[in-house]
């Protein structure tokens, strides 16, 4: 069964920063349709904001950032969020990720900050790093 995920912004940032890591490998899996990604307008706005603010640290330009977000939109499943769980997580910016994962009935939240999602156990959503998800899929980054 294909994992259904919400991707934390830090994973997208990491994947666009370097082509050598698990984050980039996961982005390729998403683009190929091997992993289902779920999106919402607030999350896409967060992606855009964070990536454009960090364009100088990335090895890509704004056009590549837009293309990457467009690709996620093309392969992703869009959701409107009608029920908010806020405040629940230590970082208020992470609440929108949890809310989307719950609304979309995702199997995973993929993040580099696993400790920030400690209180998600009751929702039945696994919180994993990109490398852990790839290992679960039988891949080696």
The rounded average pLDDT for each run of 10 residues, N- to C-terminus, in the chain (141 residues) is 95 93 96 96 96 90 94 96 75 89 95 88 91 89 56
pLDDT of residue 1: 81
Fold of 4-136: Rossmann fold (3.40.50)
pLDDT of residue 85: 66
DSSP string, 64-122: HHHHHHHHHHHHSEE--------S-SSSGGGHHHHHHHHHTT-SEEE-S-GGGGGGGGG
* Whole-prediction pTM: 0.93
79's tokens: 């959701």
pLDDT of residue 141: 56
pLDDT of residue 89: 81
């Amino acid at each position: 069964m294909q994992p259904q995920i919400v991707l934390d912004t830090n994973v997208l940032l990491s994947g666009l920063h370097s082509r050598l890591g698990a984050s980039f490998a996961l982005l390729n899996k998403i683009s190929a349709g091997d992993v289902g990604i779920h999106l919402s307008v607030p999350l896409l706005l967060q992606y855009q904001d964070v990536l454009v603010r960090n364009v100088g640290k990335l090895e890509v330009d704004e056009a590549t950032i837009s293309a990457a977000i467009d690709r996620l939109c093309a392969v992703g499943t869009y959701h409107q969020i009608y029920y908010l769980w806020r405040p629940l997580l230590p970082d208020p910016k992470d609440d929108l990720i949890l809310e989307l994962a719950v609304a979309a009935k995702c199997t995973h939240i993929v993040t580099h900050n696993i400790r920030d999602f400690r209180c998600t156990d009751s929702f039945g959503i696994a919180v994993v790093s990109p490398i852990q998800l790839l290992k679960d899929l039988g891949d080696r980054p």
